[in-house]
């Protein structure tokens, strides 16, 4: 059962803000809620501006600032940038601009390097994420003697935003993007976009059981938990989440409910 954060006492702990370019951040929110079920949350899907992959750094920073201002106005005491592209483009600016703590995304390059037996790791990500220095620094820091191959995946985010997780078109895209990695000998594939965990089953079918598929949702949840002291409260009997979209709330309500696994009530993000 999910209740609205607005129904809780004003004296309750500050909510955790979570935002993504769209619905991909639900994969991260799910892991956070599993660790912190009694927290309040405000989730913003910037679906009206999705995908971020084709946008400039300045454009992404502008969107991140707008959403951060909204989350702070809603009382957020911690903000999770549940988007790899937004983390790469904007999290350093956000941390330098605001006093609130931000938790960002980091592709699982380090654990992938530790797990590979073939010496080849593949990273699936958006074009903007792959163009950023942050990912390149991460690879330089942790790759060692392992070959890390990066693969841009145009079109995958859009398929997931439409809820097309197992269509022939989505399958064809996934196959197109993972086949070069498999041909190069990759035995670990990193999901470098928070949307992609929703395709984990499909990716697993295509790459086979001999290839490990990693994402960082659980690691981010642990990081969020390190900032939060959660004590059982008689006032909070269920997870409280307020949902917002800068796109069509009904679209998020339908697709988001399928991804989340239960109905969600979505409000329109106020126009800036």
List residues bridging with 3 in a β-sheet: 240
Characterize the bridge pairing of strands 212-214 and 78-81: unpaired
Catalytic residue among 83, 214, 252, 255: 83
Question: How big is the chain, counted in residues?
Answer: 272
Distances (CA, A) of 231 to 40, 79, 225, 235, 236: 13, 20, 12, 11, 10
Residue for token digits 């951040």? Answer: 25
Q: Which of 193, 203, 211, 241 is catalytic?
A: 193
Burial tier of 262 (Cβ tally within 10 Å: 0-12, 13-18, 19+): exposed
Say whether 83 is catalytic. Answer: yes
3-state secondary structure of 109: helix
Q: Which is nearest to 99 in space by CA: 72, 74, 80?
A: 72
What the block records as the tokens of 15 is 């909510």
CB atoms within 10 A of CB 16: 25
The residues assigned a catalytic role are 83, 193
């Amino acid at each position: 059962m999910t209740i609205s954060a607005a129904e809780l006492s004003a004296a309750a702990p500050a909510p955790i803000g979570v935002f993504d370019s769209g619905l991909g951040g639900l994969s991260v929110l799910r892991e956070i809620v599993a660790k912190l079920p009694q927290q309040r949350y405000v989730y913003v899907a910037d679906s009206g501006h999705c995908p971020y992959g084709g946008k400039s750094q300045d454009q992404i920073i502008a969107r991140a600032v707008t959403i951060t201002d909204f989350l702070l106005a809603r009382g957020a005491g911690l903000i999770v940038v549940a988007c790899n592209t937004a983390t790469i483009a904007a999290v350093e600016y956000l941390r330098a601009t605001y006093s609130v703590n931000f938790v960002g995304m980091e592709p699982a390059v380090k654990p992938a390097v530790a797990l590979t037996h073939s010496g080849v790791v593949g990273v699936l990500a958006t074009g903007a994420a792959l163009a950023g220095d942050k990912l390149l620094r991460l690879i330089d820091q942790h790759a060692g003697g392992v070959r890390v191959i990066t693969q841009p995946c145009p079109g995958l985010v859009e398929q997931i935003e439409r809820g097309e997780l197992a269509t022939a078109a989505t399958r064809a895209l996934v196959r197109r993007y993972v086949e070069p990695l498999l041909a190069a000998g990759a035995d670990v594939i990193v999901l470098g976009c928070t949307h992609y965990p929703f395709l984990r089953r499909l990716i697993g079918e295509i790459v086979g059981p001999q290839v490990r598929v990693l994402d960082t949702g659980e690691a981010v949840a642990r990081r969020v938990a390190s900032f939060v002291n959660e004590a059982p409260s008689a006032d909070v009997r269920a997870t409280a989440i307020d949902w917002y979209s800068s796109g069509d709330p009904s679209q998020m309500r339908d697709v988001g409910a399928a991804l989340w696994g239960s109905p969600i009530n979505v409000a329109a993000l106020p126009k800036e």
